[in-house]
Amino acid sequence: MRRLNARTLDPKPDNNINNKMDSIKLHFRSNAPFRSNLFSRNPKHTTKSNIIVFALITITLALLGYFFVSGRGYRDSLKRKFRIVIDGGSTGTRIHVFEYGISDGVPVFDFGKNGLASMRVNPGLSSYAEDPEGAGVSLTELLEFAKKKIPKELWGRTEVRLMATAGLRMLELGVQERILESCRRVLSLSGFKFHHGWASVITGPDEGIYAWVVANYALGTLGGDPQQTTGIIELGGASAQVTFVSSEPMPPEFSHMVKFGNITYNLYSHSLLHFGQNAAFDLLRESLVTRGLELVNAATESHQRGKSIDPCTPKGYSHDMESRNPSPGSLAEKNGYQSTLHPRGNFSECRSAALMLLQDGNEKCSYHHCHIGSTFIPKLQGKFLATENFFYTSKFLGLGIALDDERIGFANQVGDIPLDWALGAFILQSTGDLGVEWAPNWIANICS
């Protein structure tokens, strides 16, 4: 506006653009002498005053910057949270370090690269049945991994939980407890937040429910119509879990009610112990050995060294019980026997042997129908994901086969979210601890 006034106040038109620019410059320079006069009364005082003013401004800005940065860091440290879940599986132990935030009292999850870090060590905790102290030692490397992922000032506020699965469930209770006590001692000295009860053996149905939670969270169906959810068939090393929404009446021991928001899910969840990939393999070989021993003359065949036909192993492949550790609780593990199975590679015979194994004990079924042994399994409803070893086996063999039933798919993750039951446990624990579990809007506030 001052430039505009300078031009309009000049009554004489001037065609020389340079003269106009000079007049404008002079107009703005007119205040310069006034400013200089303020500090020219005493030269020494002027220099001293400049230094004081500059120092005051510098100190003020430094203090403001310090409080702003430290205050923001403090607020960020309150919002930034971590949690650790250790999955004590049958073949290995895996640690998951979760980072998440809190927005308006609701947890905000990120299971991508920034929000989840994992590491695995072998063997599983059940392998330390004869050396329980070794189980605790095996966690040391995992805990060091977690410390590198979590700021040191947050260690004391970061909960660590050990959740052992079927590998330990197959051991005697006394052995289980000795292994857990060894782990508890190490966890209590880790620097993370830990309580005695946070190291435990979880039930098979709970493991299945956790897997179902993370699968449907990843698919975006958690908190929605029960009929639109996806069931889980999870094949672990020592057990297999089957979990899905069922409208069929179920015996109470198989029925589990889970509520999210205003939606209640009636879940069938059951764990088939000994039907994990490794344990089932041992059972199959034992049944083949037993059948072979029944066909030979006991006088000429040693019980300690049986020779049987293995239709499930390709011809020419050498693989006997001496080359691998038997599953805890198997006959080979209990009785110490060994056997040599001669591979035949016959698909039809292998399928028949597997079906016989699945139907073993079916005569003891006390329900309307039992598809596996004497276990009640309702009619499958909806779509299913076959995870863990189902997926790994399919990927390893490069099957690429379209299943007759399009409702079933093999998967290990959805998007960037791993289909790991430990993630489901983390979701339920985190929301529950904040007192917002099942709040109507908590699902909408979770982001991946």
* The two structure tokens encoding residue 298: 């006991």
Query: What is the distance, to the nearest Å, from the Cα of residue 380 to the centroid of all Cα atoms in its chain?
Result: 26
Q: What is the pLDDT of residue 53?
A: 66
AA letter at 135:
A
Please count the CA atoms within 13 angstroms of the CA of 3 that sit on its side-chain side.
Answer: 5
Q: How far apart are CA 405 and CA 336, in angstroms?
A: 42
3-state secondary structure of 406: coil
- Which helix (H) or strand (E) segment holds residue 28: the answer is helix 17-29
What per-residue string of b and e applies to 32-66 under the rule 16 or more CB within 10 Å gives b? eeeeeeeeeeeeeeeeeeeeeeeeeeeeeeeeeee
Q: Poorest-confidence range of 41-45, 80-84, 279-283, 422-426?
A: 41-45
The residue among 235 and 31 whose pLDDT is bigger is 235
Cis peptide before 123, with omega less than 30 degrees from 0? Answer: yes
Fold of 80-202: Nucleotidyltransferase; domain 5 (3.30.420)
AA letter at 371:
H
Phi, psi of 384 (to 5 degrees): -135, 150
Residues 277-327 have pLDDT tens digits of: 999 988 888 888 877 655 444 444 444 455 678 898 888 887 654 445 666
Triad 95, 205, 216: Cα angle to 5°: 70
Structural contact between residues 221 and 230, judged by C-beta atoms closer than 8 angstroms? yes
Kindly name the residue from 207, 234, 286, 388 that is annotated as catalytic.
Answer: 207
Q: What is the pLDDT of residue 68?
A: 55
Total-model pTM: 0.73
Q: Is the pLDDT of residue 439 over 70?
A: no
Q: How far apart are CA 328 and CA 130, in angstroms?
A: 11
Structural contact between residues 96 and 116, judged by C-beta atoms closer than 8 angstroms? yes
Is the Cα dihedral 54, 56, 57, 61 positive or negative? positive
* Catalytic (active site) residue 207: yes
Start-end of CATH 3.30.420.40 domains in the chain: 80-202
Q: How far apart are CA 161 and CA 195, in angstroms?
A: 8
